[in-house]
Amino acid sequence: MADPNQGVRFDLSVFPGLYRRKVEVPNVMVEGNYHIWEASPQLTYFSTRHQIEAQDRVYCDISYGKLEEDAYLIRTQCVNHSGDIQNLVLHYMASLQFPVVKDGWSSREAPPVRWTLPEHCLYCRAVDYRRFTRDNPLPTDSLVTDGKRPNEVRGSGFSGGSAVKLQKGDKLDFVLDNPLPVSRPVLAVRYQSAQSCVLTAQGEHFAAEGPLPPREQPGFALVPISRWDHEGGSLSFSLWVEEGSLVVDSLILCQKEEASQLDCRPSPTPHVPQVWELGSDTPLDQGASPMLPLFQDAAKDRDTSRNFLILKYPDAPGYYGLYWDFPDYCLRYWLTDELDYSLRYLAHDHVRKVLTGNGRGHFSNVFLRPIPVKPQESLSVYGVVCRGDSREQVEQKVAELAARRESFPQAWERQHASALEAQGNPQGETYRFSQNRMIATTLTNVVYPIYVKRSYIRHNTPGR
């Protein structure tokens, strides 16, 4: 979890396939050649099986196991039970995933917005209200769907993806603790509205009222304060509309002359990371060359100790490191928010370095190819993904883990031993295989992030 408070998730997925022929991309919504295989109760280890050819003729078992804090071992066992040599591939796909807000049958990501605030101000999200009331209460006010608060709306562009809808007869009560002393305050409101409206804020020591123009996208307006005699302590007030309706994102109380410093906008490229290779202080220029070098030039030295990348995403704390113990690879970038179609459709494209889909996302792709596996043999490929607070810390951690790559098989054996298996008597032996698959499926049936009342949670099936 890159940022649990914002619902931001870092993903590292591994997809196998046949060289220059096809790639297996899992899709849990349709039946396919992807199966949950094993899992430990705490999910410190789990594995999946990808059928490359039916009836276990060719398959890949991909496992993820905890090596140490903030570091996971990735093992791909490529198995060839056919009578021919098979040239396989592996795609390591790194990406940053943001919470999704739904609009009917469609859905959109809601990346965090970036705020610029004056040094002396008081900021409050509208969804952090103390109490909501309306002149004509509804039965649903105390039983709100989708984990929302009463009158909360979800949408891309709002702070935290949430705002509050206000119409005539609705009232929000706020209590702000320890407000900063201000002499000439003004109330700044970030909102969205299809029509003009009049907003009122009133409390024991505070009163403000003013018109707000229509705004198709979230933006700011200043509401003049007509009364301010607050001298300290918490500040209580109510907010409502006299005319019209609007969606309120945030409230900011600041000095009038500092209001021009307010700014809030989404990151222009929230999915695109800076990428460093080992020992380099300069990030890679992802668009410098649209084409890959020739195959013989792309093949790396057999020493894989320097095969790693460091990634830093603009809207996630920390740095991420990726190591792979295989010499023949290339680094590519996918400009899309989905791989189910794009990766399959462009499986034959071994020329371009930047592959463009719908342009709404970004995947950093370490492409291992080809991986020859002889008939009736298997081959294991190891990798590591880790996280740290600084680039230097991640670089040191990955280098130390890469130096221990000879011990990866023993580390995997210890992780594999933690997988939960069905116990029973001899009469139930027939069902052991299917029960082990069901155990792994149930244990891994966890969804994150799920939004529930201003926070994000993991959700799992009942009985897990």
pLDDT tens for 259-275 read 999 999 888 888 999 99
End-to-end alpha-carbon separation of the chain, Å? 21
Nearest to 160 by CA among 411, 457, 451: 451
Number of domains observed in the structure of the chain: 2
Same domain for 299 and 445: yes
What is the arithmetic mean of pLDDT over 98-110?
81
Distance CA 168, CA 243 (A): 6
| Predicted structure pTM score | 0.90
105 within domain boundaries: no
> Does some domain include residue 34?
yes
Mark whether 148 and 78 lie in a shared domain.
Answer: no
Q: Is residue 118 located within the same domain as residue 241?
A: yes
Confidence (pLDDT) at 286: 67
Report yes or no on 328 lying in a domain.
Answer: yes
CATH code for position 173: 2.60.120.260
Say if 141 falls within a structural domain. Answer: yes
pLDDT in tens, 52-81: 998 899 999 999 999 999 999 999 999 999
3-state secondary structure of 364: strand
**Sequence-distant (≥ 6) Cβ neighbours of residue 162 within 8 angstroms:** 125, 127, 148, 152, 153, 154, 155, 454
**Token reading at 253:** 């109380």
The answer to whether the Cα torsion of 234, 240, 246, 247 is positive or negative is positive
Task: Give the CATH number for residue 313.
Answer: 2.70.98
Residue type, 264: C
Q: Is residue 24 within 8 Å of 91, Cβ to Cβ? A: no
My answer on whether 289 and 379 are in the same domain is yes
Residue type, 2: A
**For residue 4, is it within any domain?**
no
The rounded distance, in Å, linking the Cα atoms of 114 and 116 is: 7
Which residues have CB under 8 Å from 243's CB, separation 6+? 168, 196, 197, 198
Q: Do residues 134 and 88 touch, judged by C-beta distance below 8 A?
A: no
Q: Give the pLDDT mean for 383-402.
A: 94
Mean pLDDT on 382-397: 95
| 3-class DSSP assignment, residue 415 | helix
Per residue in 172-227, pLDDT (tens digit) is 999 988 666 677 789 999 999 999 999 999 988 889 999 999 999 999 999 999 99
Contact criterion met (CB below 8 Å) for 328 and 298: yes
134 membership: H or E segment, kind and range: strand 131-134
Residues 24 and 149 reside in one and the same domain: no
Confidence of residue 297 (pLDDT cuts 50, 70, 90): very low
340 and 414 housed in the same domain: yes
C-alpha span between 279 and 291 (Å, rounded): 24
Q: How confident is the model at residue 138 (pLDDT cuts 50, 70, 90)?
A: confident
- Look at the alpha carbons of 128, 133, 136, 140 in this order and tell me if their dihedral is positive or negative: positive
**pLDDT at residue 419 is higher than 60:** yes
**One-letter amino acid of 313:** Y
pLDDT higher than threshold 80 for residue 369: yes
Q: Are residues 384 and 237 in the same domain?
A: no
**CA dihedral over 457, 99, 148, 242, signed as positive or negative:** positive
Asked if residue 428 and residue 331 are part of one domain, the reply reads yes
Assess whether 159 and 187 both reside in one domain.
Answer: yes
Q: Indicate whether 211 and 350 sit together in one domain.
A: no
Question: Is residue 104 situated within a structural domain?
Answer: no
Residue 295 pLDDT: 42
The answer as to whether 277 is a domain residue is yes
Q: How much is the pLDDT for 463?
A: 57
Handedness of CA 369, 374, 376, 382 (dihedral sign): negative
Asked if residue 3 belongs to a domain, the reply is no
**Position 400 pLDDT exceeds 80:** yes
pLDDT of residue 403: 93
User: Phi/psi of residue 143, each to 5°?
Assistant: -145, 80
Would the pLDDT of 298 be above 70?
no
Boundary residue ending a domain (223, 248, 266): 266
Helices (H) and strands (E) in the chain, counts: 5, 32
pLDDT above 90: residue 321: yes
Its domain, for residue 130, covers: 113-266
Q: Last residue of some domain: 266, 284, 309? A: 266
In whole angstroms, what is the distance from residue 37 CA to residue 439 CA? 9
**pLDDT greater than 50 at residue 296:** no
Rounded CA-CA distance 319/282 in Å is 15
Non-local (6+) Cβ contacts of 145 within 8 A are none
Phi, psi of 310 (to 5 degrees): -120, 130
* Residue 42 and residue 122 share a domain: no
Which pLDDT value is given to residue 290?
60
- Decide if 66 contacts 369 (C-beta within 8 A): no
| CA–CA distance, 73 with 59 (Å, rounded to integer) | 20
Pair (128, 209) in one structural domain:
yes
CB within 8 A of 16, min separation 6: which ones? 23, 24, 50, 52, 60, 62, 76, 78, 88, 89, 90, 91
- Choosing from 231, 266, 301, the residue where a domain stops is 266
Higher-confidence residue: 339 or 269? Answer: 339
Query: How would residue 303 be classed by pLDDT, with cut points 50, 70 and 90?
Result: confident
Interval 25-49: pLDDT, tens: 988 888 889 999 999 999 999 999 9
DSSP three-state, residue 406: helix
- Are 212 and 199 in contact by the 8 Å Cβ rule? The answer is yes
